[in-house]
Amino acid sequence: QVFHNKDTSPVEAVYKFPMDPYFSVNGMKITLDDKEIDAVIMKKEEAKEKYDDAVAAGNTAAKINYDENIPEILELAVGALQPDKTIKIDVSIVSKCDVIQYGLFSFIFPINFIPKYTPSGTASIEQPKVGGSVLDGLFSANIVVEANSVISDLSVSHMMEYSQENDGSQRN
């Protein structure tokens, strides 16, 4: 994700995106100006406190955590992003591929909020609402597929470029 603050004052940008329950965030790298910062994984309360302290002091900070109300939603917050500054955030996620049948695997990366089936008698999940100022953003995904054997065929539902490495892995 790349964010640019076109406003005349510092902003906090909060982005929410769907996350499969089998995905795990295993890293985040922040690039601000010429500085690259590798995020540190910590307990939620400690991370919130450090983020709030940094933003209160006027320092740009970022945090990523699961939404408290909807556990399938990952929330990325960038606080105190100064005017005319750009920040790039790379989030690293790992997941296993589901075996469909006959050695075929399936990988689905959700990027849209869509209504989910809610069984009768349970509370429905309210879809996240968009609010506040809109910052220009760019979304891209690099996907690395590693397998114990050579991948002989790759079928995708969306247009993408990929290449096969010497070890048989596919790279988009």
Q: Given this model, what pLDDT does residue 170 score?
A: 52
Task: Report the pLDDT averaged over residues 56-79.
Answer: 87
Q: What's the CA gap between 63 and 61, in Å, rounded?
A: 7
Per-residue pLDDT reduced to its tens digit, 115-155: 444 444 544 444 444 444 444 555 667 777 777 777 777 77
pTM for this model (two decimals): 0.68
Within 8 A by CB and 6+ apart from 102, the residues are none
Q: Given this model, what pLDDT does residue 106 score?
A: 75
Exposure class string for 60-82: b at 16+ Cβ within 10 A, else e? bbbbbeeeeebeebbbbbbbbbb
Q: Report the range of poorest mean pLDDT among 65-69, 129-133, 158-162, 167-171.
A: 129-133
Q: Which residue has the higher pLDDT, 59 or 19?
A: 59
Q: Given this model, what pLDDT does residue 169 score?
A: 53
